[in-house]
Structure 1
Amino acid sequence: MKKALLLIATLFLFITSCSESKPAKLERDGVLITSPTGWEITDQENIDDQGYYLSIEKDGFDSSGIVTMTWINGEIDLGEWAYIFQEELTNNIIYRNSNIQFEDAVDDTYNNIDTSSIRFTASILGLDHEGNIHFFYKGNKTFAILIQEAMEDNVTNKPGFDLIEKGFKVQ
């Protein structure tokens, strides 16, 4: 009987841990972010009351979609911040041996906001990834939004990326 109860409890924990994350909204410093079903806000950090960082990741063991949002209160030069951001990625332990390659900045948009964006590619754990980093000013803040995925996951990640972008608002 004890073995049957243990098996049922283990099965219950497995099933509940595999369920998709529910939609979530976060409002911070006049910034509204929506995490859709199947995606989860996995990390948040107050940057010494000078800004904020968060990441939203697609659920699942074999999922690669991630969006990170960083904002700094006030305005800093976008070119300088793009350079610092690229240096931080290049020196980050995840990207250090990934052969990360950045393209030149181009004019772009994120949820109808004019941005400067930089595309990049990297090989992380032998899997080809691609990404885009948007830099812009909005609501007396300077933003960097990184969107990254394994190239093989772009079809499955697109709906989530689109919902996150549409749910992004700055007051």
Structure 2
Amino acid sequence: MKTPLLVLASIFIFLTSCSESKPANFERDGVVMTSPAGWGITDQENIDDQGYYLSIEKDGFDSSGIITMTWLNGEIDLNEWILIYQDELVNNIIYKNSNLDFTDPSDDHYNDIDTTSIQFTASILGLGHEGVIHFFHKGDKTFALLKQQAVEDNLVNKPGFDLIEESFRIE
């Protein structure tokens, strides 16, 4: 009698764990954005009351879309932060042997915010990835916003990336 109940419970847990994430709103310290259905907030951390880190990823074992946002309280030189951020990625275990390649910084925008951005490419587990990192000051914060995906997932990730960008604001 316990075996069928155990099997049903296992199936229920499997099916509910595989369901698509619901839309979720993020709001902290005046920073607001929406994680769309099929994407989820996977990590968030207060950085010793000096800033904040947030990660939003597309659901699914075979999905590659990710946005990370880090902000620091106060204003730091963007060129200096770009170099620090690049160094952190180069030394990160995920990117260590990925042939990570950055473009030079250029003027850009994210939503309605003027940014300085760098593009990058990498080969992660043999799969080509591309990304962009936007750096900017807004209010009393300095931001770095990374957007990355497998090249082959560009079309499937676009609606989620667009919704996140359109919902992003700093109040």
TM-score band, normalised by shorter chain: over 0.9
**What is the identity, as a one-letter code, of the residue corresponding to 2:15?**
I
Task: State how far apart, in whole Å, the 2-side matches of 1:96 and 1:110 are.
Answer: 28
Query: Aligned-pair distance for 1:167?
Result: 1.1
Q: Structure 1 residue 95 and structure 2 residue 104: aligned?
A: no
Q: Structure 1 residue 43 and structure 2 residue 43: aligned?
A: yes
Q: Which blocks of at least 5 consecutive residues in structure 2 are unaligned? A: none
Task: State how far apart, in whole Å, the 2-side matches of 1:167 and 1:143 are.
Answer: 16
Per the alignment, residue 107 of structure 1 pairs with 107
Per the alignment, residue 27 of structure 2 pairs with 27
Task: State how far apart, in whole Å, the 1-side matches of 2:39 and 2:140 are.
Answer: 28
Partner SS state of residue 16, structure 1: helix
TM-score, structure 2 as length reference: 0.97
Per the alignment, residue 62 of structure 2 pairs with 62
Per the alignment, residue 128 of structure 1 pairs with 128
Q: Comparing 6-15 with 67-76, which one deviates more in the overlay?
A: 6-15
Alignment: residue pair count: 171
Q: Which blocks of at least 5 consecutive residues in structure 1 are unaligned? A: none
Task: State how far apart, in whole Å, the 2-side matches of 1:133 and 1:141 are.
Answer: 16
Query: Aligned-pair distance for 1:140?
Result: 1.4
Partner SS state of residue 108, structure 1: strand
Query: Aligned-pair distance for 1:88?
Result: 0.3
**What is the identity, as a one-letter code, of the residue corresponding to 2:90?**
T
**What is the identity, as a one-letter code, of the residue corresponding to 2:69?**
M
Q: CA RMSD in A?
A: 0.8
Per the alignment, residue 161 of structure 2 pairs with 161
Task: State how far apart, in whole Å, the 2-side matches of 1:7 and 1:91 are.
Answer: 44
Cα distance per residue 1:29-87 (max 9 Å; x no partner): 11112111111110111111111001000000110000000001111000000010000
**What is the identity, as a one-letter code, of the residue corresponding to 2:24?**
A
Task: State how far apart, in whole Å, the 2-side matches of 1:7 and 1:156 are.
Answer: 34
Cα distance per residue 1:14-36 (max 9 Å; x no partner): 11011011111121111112111
Task: State how far apart, in whole Å, the 2-side matches of 1:69 and 1:33 are.
Answer: 11
Partner SS state of residue 80, structure 2: helix
Per the alignment, residue 82 of structure 2 pairs with 82
**What is the identity, as a one-letter code, of the residue corresponding to 2:28?**
R
Task: State how far apart, in whole Å, the 2-side matches of 1:80 and 1:136 are.
Answer: 12
Query: Aligned-pair distance for 1:4?
Result: 2.0
Per the alignment, residue 170 of structure 1 pairs with 170
